[in-house]
Amino acid sequence: MTKAFIYDLTPDQLAETLNALEQPAFRTKQLIQGLYNKLYESFDSFDAIPKALRASLDAQFEITPLTLHSRVFSKNKDTEKVLFQTHDGHLIETVLMRFERRNTLCISTQVGCPMGCVFCATGQQGFARNLSMAEILGQFIHFQRELRQNNEALRNIVFMGMGEPFLNYDNVSKSLDALSDPERLGIGARHITVSTVGVIPRIAQFAKDHPQVNLAISLHAAEDGLRTQLLPANKQYPLDKLIKACHDYIKTTNRKITFEYALIDQINDTPEHAYTFAKLIKGMLSIVNLITLNPSKAYPYPGSSHARVQAFRDILVSHGIRVTVRLRRGIEINAGCGQLAGSIKS
Ligand code: SF4
């Protein structure tokens, strides 16, 4: 019989498991400490727990859901991309960005992605399946273990890797609980960002379930025709409904929304595009992240020039919109939902 992965269990389920093994209640805390604070890789290491119980747990569960397949570093070593292999042979990728003293991890939530965004290598691969909670957390745990060896730690988490997080909502939501729980992985909710192309029904639910976690919307175009060309999901979730969902989100959470906009030369970066964008989000509690698209085999159009980025930015700023321009750096050149399948460049 295949063993289950223990990181797929919530604290309540861990307690039920231990209860079924006729263990006292305090063992749940010991198990959680070993899994989430000590990050033990083997049940042998759980020295607070009796040997017989360790053996019972080992007979039922695996700890590590992912195996390291390969890793690649950017030239200046500030960005590392790891390919992990899942138990059923799929490859997923996770990216560590180590700059400005903030170790940020970009996590995948699906194997492939069904959204089909035209500029995204993941989207062009198609979709295989959702990642489990154990597989989502496993990406974090791998890097946290490594960083600890140098007395470092992960500070920020972005759900911007392979996949659309809101199409795997339940596992993403349980993972957010584990990441932000001070008794488990202890990353402050405000240091976690979930990025979506705009799966509207989940935005309201996310506002209710995780009001302190940051929300980013991969916008990339501010009118429906162009946005549907770039992000086919826009057909199902058009801009008027998306923007209404964003206003509702802000009303519920009083938190700002980040709009990601990858500038593509002559495609979505003209002054008219900037004016349309400014009109769409004017007055909204938000910040815009501008990046330049990294051309890929799937979508060989170049990112915008520095001058065009500045002109676009200036128009937004002149409408009172807060804007940051992100550097083309390591995976940052592909920042925004899911464009991680290309190789790292620096
Ligand atoms: S950009 Fe995000 S939502 Fe779009 S295809 Fe890529 S991974 Fe999926």
Atom from ligand 1 closest to the CA of residue 231: 4
Measured CA distances, 180 to 60, 99, 136, 156, 210 (Å): 27, 22, 14, 11, 10
93 flagged as catalytic:
yes
Atom from ligand 1 closest to the CA of residue 123: 5
Written out in words, the top-level CATH class of the domain with range 4-62 is: mainly alpha
Ligand 1 center from residue 233 Cα (angstroms):
10
- The pLDDT, as a whole number, for residue 98 is 87
Mutate to test the pocket of ligand 1, among 92, 106, 117, 220 (most ligand atoms within 8 A of CB): 117
Ligand 1 center from residue 269 Cα (angstroms):
20
Strands (E), the chain: 4-5, 61-62, 66-73, 79-86, 91-99, 102-106, 110-112, 127-130, 156-159, 192-196, 214-218, 257-263, 286-292, 322-325
**Bridge partners, residue 72, by sequence:** 81
Q: What residue's CA is closest to ligand 1, atom 4?
A: 117
CA gap 65, 55 in Å, rounded:
19
Phi and psi at residue 201, to the nearest 5°? -60, -25
- The pLDDT, as a whole number, for residue 340 is 42
Q: Which of 338, 330, 336, 333 is CA-nearest to residue 92?
A: 338
Atom from ligand 1 closest to the CA of residue 116: 5
Average pLDDT along the chain, 346 residues, taken 10 residues at a time: 92 98 97 98 97 98 97 87 95 88 92 93 90 98 96 95 97 98 97 97 98 97 98 98 98 98 96 98 96 83 95 98 78 42 35
106 flagged as catalytic:
no
The chain-wide mean pLDDT, for the chain, equals 92
- Report percent pLDDT > 90 for the chain: 85
- Selected catalytic residue, list 117, 120, 246, 337: 337
User: Which tokens go with 100?
Assistant: 């400005």
The domain limits of the chain are 4-62, 66-334
Mutate to test the pocket of ligand 1, among 235, 242, 337, 340 (most ligand atoms within 8 A of CB): 337
Domain 66-334 CATH assignment equals 3.20.20.70:
yes
DSSP state of 320: T
- Selected catalytic residue, list 93, 135, 164, 260: 93
- The pLDDT, as a whole number, for residue 328 is 56
Whether 321 lines ligand 1, by a CB cut-off of 6 Å, is no
